[in-house]
């Protein structure tokens, strides 16, 4: 299964990708996580990308596309993968189509008002990048990752101002992709529910798994 997860920031893509990845036994490729890692490592790409990410803008297509190309060529992607956060522009979607055959695209829908709640309470594991929420998806021990014991931190771009920019960018640049995949007959849509488990159930049903 070669899957794309679509949806606004905070829709629950990362949360559901983690569950799908385990169930389907394929890797998740999160462009956001790769970029944040490059920033942490202070690579040239990281330095270049930082100015965009910190303002809630998209990193230029050319940078992100070459990153994904390299990642998809790794052997662990041969039997499938879940793309979380890519493509985010029509150009990225077209380039992806020229690289591989996507099986299915799942879009998780969440209202703009809810996005702010989700992202302002999001905490991310510094080590394994698992996503938590201070109200909706609490770790067993406050501030500590259930999966690896890593420290939970607030992402630099999860501030009110940046979140507003990211929502606007999503509507302008990413939303047109929904129609792009619908016209290919590959699109499934689910409502992002208030509860993580309910959403997972809806996602698995939509994918017939």
* Residues 70-76: contacts with CB under 8 Å, at least 24 apart: 71/29, 71/34, 72/29, 72/99, 72/100, 76/27
Residue 64 binds what, of ligand ADP, Zn ion, none (CB under 5 to 8 Å, by partner type)?
A: ligand ADP
Q: How far is the CB of 37 from ligand ADP (least distance, A)?
A: 11
Identify which of residues 26 and 56 has a Cβ nearer to ligand ADP in the complex: 56
User: How far is it, in rounded angstroms, from Cα 129 to Cα 39?
Assistant: 14
Tell which one of 4, 35, 96, 190 touches ligand ADP (CB under 6 A).
Answer: 35
Q: How far is the CB of 56 from ligand ADP (least distance, A)?
A: 6
Binding range to ligand ADP, per CB under 6 A, among 20-28, 38-46, 85-93, 140-148: 85-93
Size of the site for ligand ADP (CB under 6 A): 38
Whether the Cβ atoms of residue 143 and residue 128 lie closer than 8 Å to each other:
no
Report if residue 192 touches ligand ADP, rule: CB under 6 A: yes
Report if residue 194 touches ligand ADP, rule: CB under 6 A: yes
- Alpha-helical (H) ranges within 41-80 are 44-53, 61-72
Whether the Cβ atoms of residue 35 and residue 114 lie closer than 8 Å to each other:
no
């Amino acid at each position: 299964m070669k899957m794309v997860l679509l949806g606004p920031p905070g829709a629950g893509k990362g949360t559901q990708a983690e569950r799908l990845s385990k169930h389907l036994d394929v890797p998740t490729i999160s462009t956001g996580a790769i970029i944040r890692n490059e920033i942490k490592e202070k690579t040239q790409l990281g330095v270049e990308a930082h100015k965009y990410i910190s303002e809630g803008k998209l990193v230029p297509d050319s940078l992100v596309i070459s990153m994904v190309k390299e990642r998809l060529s790794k052997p662990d992607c041969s039997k499938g993968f879940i793309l979380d956060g890519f493509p985010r522009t029509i150009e990225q979607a077209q380039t992806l189509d020229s690289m591989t055959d996507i099986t299915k695209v799942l879009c998780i829908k969440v209202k703009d008002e809810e996005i702010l709640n989700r992202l302002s309470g999001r905490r991310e594991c510094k080590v394994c990048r698992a996503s938590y929420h201070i109200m909706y998806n609490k770790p067993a021990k406050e501030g500590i990752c259930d999966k690896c014991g890593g420290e939970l931190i607030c992402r630099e771009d999860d501030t009110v101002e940046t979140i507003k920019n990211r929502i606007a960018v999503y509507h302008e640049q990413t939303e047109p992709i929904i129609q792009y995949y619908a016209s290919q007959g590959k699109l499934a849509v689910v409502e992002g529910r208030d509860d993580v488990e309910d959403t997972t159930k809806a996602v698995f049903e939509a994918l017939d798994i």
